[in-house]
Amino acid sequence: MFSLFYGLWKYLFSKIEFHVLILGIDKAGKTTLLEKLKSLYSNLEGLPPDRIVPTVGLNIGRVEVSNTKLVFWDLGGQSGLRSIWEKYYEEAHAVIFVIDASSPSRFEDAKSALEKVLRHEDLQGAPLLILANQQDLPEALSSEELARYLDLKKLDERVYMFEAVSAYDGMGIRESVEWLVEVMERSKRTEMLRVRAGAMGQDMMMTTTTMITTNAGPTGGRGQSAGITDVQNQTPYHQIQTIPMPLM
Protein backbone atom coordinates (compact mmCIF):
# COMPACT_ATOMS: atom_id res chain seq x y z
CA MET A 1 0.00 0.00 0.00
CA PHE A 2 2.77 2.38 1.02
CA SER A 3 4.66 1.74 -2.21
CA LEU A 4 1.48 2.45 -4.21
CA PHE A 5 1.09 5.86 -2.57
CA TYR A 6 4.80 6.53 -2.81
CA GLY A 7 4.69 5.66 -6.51
CA LEU A 8 1.74 8.00 -7.05
CA TRP A 9 3.42 10.76 -5.07
CA LYS A 10 6.64 10.34 -7.08
CA TYR A 11 4.65 10.32 -10.32
CA LEU A 12 2.91 13.59 -9.42
CA PHE A 13 6.15 15.30 -8.47
CA SER A 14 8.04 13.93 -11.47
CA LYS A 15 5.71 16.13 -13.55
CA ILE A 16 6.62 19.25 -11.62
CA GLU A 17 9.32 21.64 -12.63
CA PHE A 18 10.51 23.64 -9.64
CA HIS A 19 11.48 27.25 -10.25
CA VAL A 20 14.19 28.46 -7.92
CA LEU A 21 15.16 32.13 -7.82
CA ILE A 22 18.80 32.89 -7.07
CA LEU A 23 18.95 36.37 -5.56
CA GLY A 24 21.54 38.44 -3.74
CA ILE A 25 23.42 41.68 -4.19
CA ASP A 26 26.06 42.05 -6.89
CA LYS A 27 29.29 40.03 -6.56
CA ALA A 28 27.75 37.64 -4.02
CA GLY A 29 28.57 34.72 -6.32
CA LYS A 30 25.14 33.83 -7.79
CA THR A 31 26.28 33.11 -11.32
CA THR A 32 29.37 31.26 -10.10
CA LEU A 33 26.98 29.13 -8.04
CA LEU A 34 24.74 28.49 -11.05
CA GLU A 35 27.72 27.33 -13.11
CA LYS A 36 28.84 25.07 -10.25
CA LEU A 37 25.35 23.56 -10.09
CA LYS A 38 25.58 22.79 -13.77
CA SER A 39 28.95 21.05 -13.28
CA LEU A 40 27.70 19.08 -10.27
CA TYR A 41 24.40 17.89 -11.72
CA SER A 42 25.14 17.36 -15.38
CA ASN A 43 28.00 16.01 -17.41
CA LEU A 44 28.63 19.46 -18.83
CA GLU A 45 31.35 21.70 -17.45
CA GLY A 46 30.10 25.04 -16.13
CA LEU A 47 31.87 28.23 -17.14
CA PRO A 48 35.10 28.71 -15.15
CA PRO A 49 34.87 31.61 -12.65
CA ASP A 50 37.28 33.81 -14.62
CA ARG A 51 34.89 33.80 -17.60
CA ILE A 52 31.83 34.89 -15.62
CA VAL A 53 30.82 38.52 -16.03
CA PRO A 54 28.35 40.59 -13.93
CA THR A 55 24.80 39.65 -14.84
CA VAL A 56 22.67 42.19 -16.64
CA GLY A 57 19.44 40.30 -17.11
CA LEU A 58 18.73 36.67 -16.39
CA ASN A 59 20.66 33.40 -16.57
CA ILE A 60 18.61 30.24 -16.64
CA GLY A 61 20.02 26.88 -15.58
CA ARG A 62 18.09 23.63 -15.86
CA VAL A 63 19.26 20.55 -14.03
CA GLU A 64 17.75 17.32 -12.81
CA VAL A 65 18.35 16.20 -9.24
CA SER A 66 17.18 12.63 -8.55
CA ASN A 67 14.29 12.83 -11.02
CA THR A 68 13.28 16.31 -9.92
CA LYS A 69 13.52 19.01 -12.53
CA LEU A 70 14.91 22.28 -11.28
CA VAL A 71 14.97 25.55 -13.18
CA PHE A 72 17.24 28.16 -11.62
CA TRP A 73 16.69 31.83 -12.41
CA ASP A 74 19.80 33.86 -11.64
CA LEU A 75 19.19 37.59 -11.72
CA GLY A 76 21.62 40.51 -11.67
CA GLY A 77 22.18 41.95 -8.20
CA GLN A 78 23.40 45.47 -9.00
CA SER A 79 21.18 48.00 -7.24
CA GLY A 80 19.69 49.32 -10.50
CA LEU A 81 18.65 45.79 -11.47
CA ARG A 82 16.98 44.69 -8.25
CA SER A 83 13.61 46.15 -9.25
CA ILE A 84 13.41 43.35 -11.86
CA TRP A 85 13.50 40.62 -9.21
CA GLU A 86 9.84 40.92 -8.25
CA LYS A 87 8.70 40.06 -11.79
CA TYR A 88 9.76 36.48 -11.02
CA TYR A 89 8.32 36.13 -7.53
CA GLU A 90 4.86 34.83 -8.39
CA GLU A 91 6.17 31.79 -10.25
CA ALA A 92 9.00 30.88 -7.87
CA HIS A 93 8.74 27.77 -5.71
CA ALA A 94 11.70 28.80 -3.55
CA VAL A 95 14.44 31.40 -3.15
CA ILE A 96 18.17 31.00 -2.72
CA PHE A 97 19.69 34.19 -1.31
CA VAL A 98 23.47 34.31 -1.77
CA ILE A 99 25.72 36.44 0.44
CA ASP A 100 29.48 36.91 0.15
CA ALA A 101 30.36 35.90 3.72
CA SER A 102 33.87 37.31 3.32
CA SER A 103 32.74 40.93 2.76
CA PRO A 104 31.34 42.43 5.99
CA SER A 105 31.27 45.89 4.40
CA ARG A 106 28.43 44.65 2.16
CA PHE A 107 26.36 42.86 4.81
CA GLU A 108 24.11 45.85 5.49
CA ASP A 109 23.19 46.11 1.80
CA ALA A 110 22.59 42.34 1.63
CA LYS A 111 20.44 42.44 4.77
CA SER A 112 18.18 45.22 3.51
CA ALA A 113 17.84 43.57 0.08
CA LEU A 114 16.88 40.29 1.75
CA GLU A 115 14.41 41.98 4.10
CA LYS A 116 12.72 43.58 1.11
CA VAL A 117 12.45 40.16 -0.58
CA LEU A 118 10.91 38.67 2.57
CA ARG A 119 8.34 41.46 2.84
CA HIS A 120 7.00 40.89 -0.68
CA GLU A 121 3.60 39.24 -0.64
CA ASP A 122 4.17 37.39 -3.94
CA LEU A 123 6.78 35.28 -2.17
CA GLN A 124 4.61 34.27 0.76
CA GLY A 125 5.48 30.82 2.04
CA ALA A 126 8.40 30.33 -0.35
CA PRO A 127 11.14 28.25 1.31
CA LEU A 128 14.34 30.25 1.72
CA LEU A 129 17.91 29.02 1.54
CA ILE A 130 20.47 31.61 2.65
CA LEU A 131 23.97 30.77 1.47
CA ALA A 132 27.03 32.13 3.25
CA ASN A 133 29.20 31.91 0.14
CA GLN A 134 32.96 32.18 -0.47
CA GLN A 135 33.86 29.84 2.41
CA ASP A 136 37.12 28.98 0.64
CA LEU A 137 38.36 32.41 1.82
CA PRO A 138 39.78 32.37 5.37
CA GLU A 139 38.00 35.58 6.41
CA ALA A 140 34.52 34.23 5.55
CA LEU A 141 31.98 34.20 8.39
CA SER A 142 30.35 30.88 9.22
CA SER A 143 26.63 30.42 8.51
CA GLU A 144 25.87 30.79 12.27
CA GLU A 145 27.83 34.06 12.49
CA LEU A 146 26.08 35.39 9.41
CA ALA A 147 22.66 34.39 10.79
CA ARG A 148 23.46 36.27 14.01
CA TYR A 149 24.53 39.31 12.07
CA LEU A 150 21.46 39.37 9.83
CA ASP A 151 19.09 38.87 12.77
CA LEU A 152 16.12 38.52 10.44
CA LYS A 153 12.74 39.36 11.94
CA LYS A 154 10.50 38.54 9.01
CA LEU A 155 11.15 34.80 8.86
CA ASP A 156 8.03 33.95 10.89
CA GLU A 157 6.60 30.67 9.65
CA ARG A 158 8.78 30.46 6.58
CA VAL A 159 10.83 27.30 6.09
CA TYR A 160 14.45 28.43 5.88
CA MET A 161 18.03 27.31 6.32
CA PHE A 162 21.45 28.95 6.46
CA GLU A 163 24.24 26.98 4.82
CA ALA A 164 27.95 27.66 4.39
CA VAL A 165 29.04 27.09 0.79
CA SER A 166 31.76 27.81 -1.70
CA ALA A 167 30.66 28.30 -5.30
CA TYR A 168 34.35 27.86 -6.17
CA ASP A 169 35.04 24.43 -4.75
CA GLY A 170 31.44 23.21 -4.34
CA MET A 171 31.50 22.88 -0.54
CA GLY A 172 27.97 22.59 0.92
CA ILE A 173 26.17 22.83 -2.41
CA ARG A 174 24.83 19.28 -2.72
CA GLU A 175 23.48 19.35 0.86
CA SER A 176 21.80 22.69 0.14
CA VAL A 177 20.13 21.48 -3.05
CA GLU A 178 18.95 18.26 -1.40
CA TRP A 179 17.35 20.25 1.41
CA LEU A 180 15.69 22.59 -1.06
CA VAL A 181 14.20 19.77 -3.13
CA GLU A 182 12.85 18.11 -0.02
CA VAL A 183 11.18 21.24 1.35
CA MET A 184 9.79 22.29 -2.02
CA GLU A 185 8.18 18.89 -2.48
CA ARG A 186 6.40 19.28 0.87
CA SER A 187 5.68 22.98 0.66
CA LYS A 188 2.16 24.46 0.70
CA ARG A 189 3.38 26.98 -1.83
CA THR A 190 4.16 24.18 -4.30
CA GLU A 191 0.61 22.94 -3.85
CA MET A 192 -0.75 26.45 -4.35
CA LEU A 193 1.30 26.95 -7.54
CA ARG A 194 0.16 23.58 -8.85
CA VAL A 195 -3.50 24.38 -8.25
CA ARG A 196 -3.05 27.76 -9.85
CA ALA A 197 -1.27 26.26 -12.88
CA GLY A 198 -4.20 23.84 -13.26
CA ALA A 199 -6.70 26.68 -13.03
CA MET A 200 -4.68 28.69 -15.54
CA GLY A 201 -4.66 25.71 -17.90
CA GLN A 202 -8.46 25.66 -17.71
CA ASP A 203 -8.60 29.43 -18.20
CA MET A 204 -6.42 29.10 -21.26
CA MET A 205 -8.67 26.38 -22.71
CA MET A 206 -11.69 28.60 -22.15
CA THR A 207 -9.89 31.57 -23.67
CA THR A 208 -9.03 29.51 -26.73
CA THR A 209 -12.66 28.51 -27.11
CA THR A 210 -13.72 32.12 -26.77
CA MET A 211 -11.15 33.17 -29.32
CA ILE A 212 -12.45 30.62 -31.82
CA THR A 213 -16.05 31.67 -31.38
CA THR A 214 -15.56 35.43 -31.11
CA ASN A 215 -12.28 35.84 -32.93
CA ALA A 216 -11.14 38.07 -30.06
CA GLY A 217 -7.46 39.04 -29.74
CA PRO A 218 -5.11 37.31 -27.30
CA THR A 219 -5.53 38.26 -23.69
CA GLY A 220 -2.72 39.58 -21.50
CA GLY A 221 -2.46 38.80 -17.80
CA ARG A 222 -0.38 36.45 -15.75
CA GLY A 223 0.90 34.13 -18.46
CA GLN A 224 2.76 36.99 -20.06
CA SER A 225 5.36 37.38 -17.32
CA ALA A 226 8.95 36.85 -18.31
CA GLY A 227 9.25 33.88 -15.96
CA ILE A 228 6.52 31.91 -17.63
CA THR A 229 7.75 32.67 -21.09
CA ASP A 230 11.22 31.43 -20.21
CA VAL A 231 10.00 28.23 -18.65
CA GLN A 232 7.79 27.34 -21.55
CA ASN A 233 10.76 27.60 -23.81
CA GLN A 234 11.87 24.05 -24.52
CA THR A 235 15.55 24.41 -23.68
CA PRO A 236 16.88 20.96 -22.82
CA TYR A 237 17.89 20.28 -19.25
CA HIS A 238 21.48 21.00 -18.22
CA GLN A 239 21.69 24.00 -20.49
CA ILE A 240 22.28 27.53 -19.34
CA GLN A 241 20.65 30.26 -21.26
CA THR A 242 21.31 33.96 -20.89
CA ILE A 243 18.50 36.38 -21.57
CA PRO A 244 19.73 39.96 -21.72
CA MET A 245 17.50 42.62 -20.29
CA PRO A 246 17.71 46.38 -20.64
CA LEU A 247 18.84 48.35 -17.60
CA MET A 248 15.90 50.04 -15.89
Ligand X SMILES: Nc1nc2c(ncn2[C@@H]2O[C@H](COP(=O)(O)OP(=O)(O)OP(=O)(O)O)[C@@H](O)[C@H]2O)c(=O)[nH]1
Q: Does 78 bind ligand X (CB under 6 A)?
A: yes
Please pick, from the candidates 20, 29, 132, 181, the single residue that binds ligand X as defined by CB under 6 A.
Answer: 29
Contact at 8 Å (CB) between 231 and 19? yes
Total number of residues that touch ligand X (CB under 6 A)? 22
Q: Does 136 bind ligand X (CB under 6 A)?
A: yes
Mark the segment that binds ligand X (CB under 6 A) among 29-37, 152-160, 217-225, 235-243: 29-37
Q: Does 28 bind ligand X (CB under 6 A)?
A: yes
Taking residues 154 to 173 in sequence order and writing x for each that binds ligand X by CB under 6 A, - otherwise, the string is: ------------xxx-----
Please pick, from the candidates 18, 19, 41, 55, the single residue that binds Mg ion as defined by CB under 5 A.
Answer: 55
CB of residue 30 to ligand X, shortest distance in Å: 4
**What does 80 bind: Mg ion, ligand X, none (CB cut-off 5 to 8 Å by kind)?**
none
Q: Is 21 helix (H, G, I), strand (E, B) or coil?
A: strand
Residue 239: C-alpha distances to residues 15, 20, 59, 71, 233 (Å): 19, 15, 10, 10, 12
Read out DSSP for the chain?
-HHHHHHHHHHHHHT-EEEEEEE-STTSSHHHHHHHHHHHHSSSPPPPGGG----SEEEEEEEEETTEEEEEEEE--SGGGGGGGGGGTTT-SEEEEEEETT-GGGHHHHHHHHHHHHH-GGGTT--EEEEEE-TTSTTPPPHHHHHHHH--STTTT--EEEEE--TTT-TTHHHHHHHHHHHHHH-HHHHHHHHHHHHHHHHHHHHHHHHHHH-PPPP-SGGGSHHHHHHHS-PPTT-EEEEE----
**What does 32 bind: ligand X, Mg ion, none (CB cut-off 5 to 8 Å by kind)?**
ligand X
Decide if 124 is catalytic.
Answer: no
CB of residue 83 to Mg ion, shortest distance in Å: 16
Please pick, from the candidates 19, 31, 100, 181, the single residue that binds Mg ion as defined by CB under 5 A.
Answer: 31
Q: Catalytic residue, from 78, 224, 239, 241: name it.
A: 78
**What does 176 bind: Mg ion, ligand X, none (CB cut-off 5 to 8 Å by kind)?**
none
**What does 127 bind: ligand X, Mg ion, none (CB cut-off 5 to 8 Å by kind)?**
none
Which residues are at the interface with ligand X (CB under 6 A)? Answer: 24, 26-32, 49, 52, 54-55, 76-78, 133-134, 136-137, 166-168
> Which residues are tagged catalytic?
78
Which residues are at the interface with Mg ion (CB under 5 A)? Answer: 30-31, 55
